[in-house]
Copies of this chain bind each other. A is one copy, B any other.
């Protein structure tokens, strides 16, 4: 089980080349530069496999839909710029250690999305 195909290798390479959350369309676009015949269904199937392997993580972007990013980059959050529509990784954690949820709730994980304007878009506005 688990063959090393040129398609899967290409998809992994795409994520290594672009260290930011990618949408399916982007994975397909960049992947086709490496394997011209790359099919959409193959991308979906490999993304699922890579998630099961723990190599990728799916994040649900409130506006852009499904995005995928590599695991093992350390805990971080995401910032979405409404100016340029890009999604940035924000390293570190801005959560208070305690009082995240009422007593009795066991918090195992969390996902934080920040919205606003990124530095380069702030410049353009001013």
Chain A residues engaging chain B, CB cutoff 8 angstroms: 58-63, 79, 82, 88, 90, 92, 94-96, 99-119, 122
Contact = CB atoms under 8 A, between A and B. Distances in A.
Contacts of A104: 118-119, 122
9 contacts: A60-B63, A79-B101, A90-B105, A94-B99, A104-B122, A106-B122, A109-B114, A109-B115, A111-B113
A92 B108 CA distance: 19
Contacts of A101: 79, 90, 94, 114, 116
Contacts of A94: 95-96, 99-101
Given A90-B101, A119-B105, A110 B113 contact: yes
Given A62-B59, A99-B92, A115 B119 contact: no
In order of increasing CB-CB distance, the 8 nearest A-B pairs are: A104-B119, A60-B62, A108-B116, A94-B100, A109-B115, A106-B117, A107-B116, A106-B116
Contacts of A102: 90
A110 B108 contact: no
A76 to B, nearest CB: 11
Nearest to A58: B62
Contact of A114 (B79, B100, B116, B119): B100
